[in-house]
Amino acid sequence: MSGKFQPDTLAEAQDRFIAVWGQMGGAWGITRTMAEVHALLYVTGEPLCTDDVMDRLQISRGNASTSLRALLDWGVVSRTHKRGDRKEYFAAEQDVWTMFRSIVRERIKREVDPLLASMHEIRELTDPARRAAGLAVDERARVEAHNQRLDQLLEFLTTVERLGHRFVSPAGRGLQAAATLLASKAAG
Amino acid sequence: MSGKFQPDTLAEAQDRFIAVWGQMGGAWGITRTMAEVHALLYVTGEPLCTDDVMDRLQISRGNASTSLRALLDWGVVSRTHKRGDRKEYFAAEQDVWTMFRSIVRERIKREVDPLLASMHEIRELTDPARRAAGLAVDERARVEAHNQRLDQLLEFLTTVERLGHRFVSPAGRGLQAAATLLASKAAG
DNA sequence: CATTTATTTCAGAATCTTCTGAAACATTTT
DNA sequence: AAAATGTTTCAGAAGATTCTGAAATAAATG
């Protein structure tokens, strides 16, 4: 016993943060391990090499390599090197808003944009100019209601996509400020 | 052949929408089937019973029941009845913004709030007033850097949580308008 | 250019998630 | 209160995802 101070309190806090962050990753469609690796790099604050990650998280080399690569692709982690050391080191982006901006950018690119493209294709299937000729009136009404539903969704998704782009763009600092303000207690 | 008009163009458009919406569900942490059931109810626009869902999506009764129940819990689908019919029918919320508001409300409640609670707990582990006494200076510096990182994240998550609440609240129509405006081409 | 060191890849294993189908439960009708 | 109809639950099966570990590849060193 060494009095009030536990020498590994910091390590414990890190571990718990890693666990919680990993859990969250799972709920939002990225793998738990990938989120854990990110959490480790973020909470550590300094560059770690593959072996550091393997040892701390108790995962295989393959898994560590794959997760680090994925984090690089997302743009939330970058490579570094140490003088006189052949290994690669990895460091997480330390600014939370910048990190979040990267995540938004990638998710729009990977999920929203393809979804919008598909939705436009689907919408064209029932484009009245090309398809409605010769329909019975009730069928025509059904197609029109369908089109209204798709259009509503398309408009919504387009708004989301535009907001996202604006947030992500260099000028998007403004949106960050707006968000902070809108979320403040003052803005009633 | 019946000329230009394909009698099942509507059904094809619905099926493709269901597929695309289901796929998206997977990427955002809800099950594909649940998203498909929701897509079916949304795109159909009228109440369907369990058997309708089973037949159209080719899934088991258990799966249909569970998915519908989950959608009810999320608040994006509601129960209905038909006169002279003992079955329950299910209809999706038809307003996209209302639907999205429900999703945001639930995700904050289920994922952001618990995350914030855990983060506060973790932050307290390294609360300087209680823990820093008697640390070597370098260790103390490390703990302080750690605390700054957690605080940054906590502040960010709190902003997200507040924005979400404001969006979801009855007064949140204002935020919807703001979002639409900010995403418009006009707002340069 | 052979050796050492570091990184990536990927087939199969382990694990986790989702689905089925039948039994249990609930409700309404006769 | 028995029968008929509709709904939920859940154990095990099916399926999908993630992980391991060793082989292949790449890069640096002497």
Which tokens belong to B149?
A: 């990182």
The answer to whether A8 CB is within 7 Å of strand C is: no
Separation in Å, CA of A167 to nearest CA in chain B: 10
Of the candidate ranges A3-7, A17-21, A87-91, the one whose mean pLDDT is the lowest: A3-7
Task: Determine the pLDDT at residue B175.
Answer: 84
Q: Which of A30, A127, A131, A144 to mutate to test the interface with B (most CBs of B within 10 A)?
A: A131
A58 and A137 in a single domain? The answer is: no
Residue contact B115–A149, C-beta within 8 A = no
* Same-domain status, A107 and A60: no
Determine if strand C comes within 7 Å of the CB of A26.
Answer: yes
Question: A69, A92, A115 — which closes off a domain?
Answer: A92
Residues A40/A48, Cβ–Cβ less than 8 Å: yes
pLDDT of residue A188 exceeding 60: no
pLDDT-flagged residues of chain B (< 50): 1-3
Same-domain pairing of A35 and A53:
yes
Q: Is residue A17 part of a domain?
A: yes
User: Contacts by A99-108 with C-beta closer than 8 Å and gap 24+?
Assistant: A99/A42, A100/B156, A101/A167, A101/A168, A101/A172, A102/A74, A102/A75, A102/A76, A103/A74, A103/A76, A104/A164, A104/A167, A104/A168, A105/A75, A105/A164, A105/A168, A106/A73, A106/A74, A106/A75, A108/A161, A108/A164, A108/A165, A108/A168
B38 in a structural domain: yes
User: Which of A92, A107, A131 represents a domain boundary (last residue)?
Assistant: A92
The pLDDT, as a whole number, for residue A150 is: 98
Please answer yes or no on whether B28 and A122 come within 8 Å at the CB atom.
no
Angle of helix A50-57 relative to helix A32-44, nearest 10 degrees?
110
| Amino acid whose CA is nearest the C1' of D17 | A31
Query: Are B20 and A179 within 8 A, CB to CB?
Result: no
**B55 plus B124 within the same structural domain:** no
Query: Which tens digits make up the pLDDT trace of A90-124?
Result: 999 999 999 999 999 999 999 999 999 999 999 99
pLDDT value for A182: 85
| Same domain for B176 and B111 | yes
pLDDT, tens digit, 9 for 90 and up, residues A37-71: 999 999 999 999 999 999 999 999 999 999 999 99
Q: Distance, angstroms, CA B87 to C1' D3?
A: 18
Q: Which nucleotide has its C1' atom closest to residue B87's CA?
A: D6
Q: Does A20 touch chain B (CB under 8 A)?
A: yes
CA pair distance B43, B57, nearest whole angstrom: 13
Closest CA to B156 of B119, B107, B186: B119
CB-CB under 8 Å, A29 with B96: no
Q: Is residue B36 part of a domain?
A: yes
Q: pLDDT tens for residues B162-184? A: 999 999 998 888 888 888 988 88
Residue B102, SS3 per DSSP = helix
For position A141, what pLDDT does the model report?
Answer: 93
**Number of domains, chain B:** 2
Same-domain status, B112 and B77: no
What's the pLDDT at A128?
A: 77
Q: Scanning the structure block, which residue is given the tokens 């709190």?
A: B158
Q: Closest chain A residue to B159 measured between Cα atoms?
A: A183
| Chain A residues whose beta carbon lies within 8 Å of the beta carbon of residue B11 | none
Beta sheet of B77-81, edge-to-edge order: B48-49, B88-92, B77-81
Token digits for B50? Answer: 């369990």
- pLDDT value, residue B25: 96
Which A-chain residues 44-103 have CB contacts (< 8 A) with chain B?
A: 45, 94-97, 100
| pLDDT the model gives residue A5 | 53
Could you list the residue range(s) of the whole structural domain that residue B29 is in?
9-92
More confident residue, A81 or A2: A81
- ∠ CA B61-B64-B70, nearest 5°, is 140
Residue B130 domain-assigned (yes or no): yes
Residue A19 within any structural domain of the chain: yes
CB B38 within 8 A of CB B75: no
Distance in Å, alpha carbon of A25 to nearest chain B alpha carbon: 9
Q: Summarize pLDDT for A129-158 with one digit per residue, the tens.
A: 766 667 789 899 999 999 999 999 999 999
Question: Taking a C-beta distance cutoff of 8 angstroms, is the pair A79, A86 a contact?
Answer: no
pLDDT (0 to 100) of residue A122: 98
What's the pLDDT score for residue A1?
A: 44
Examine the fold and report which residue of B92, B124, B145 is the final residue of a domain before the chain moves on. Answer: B92
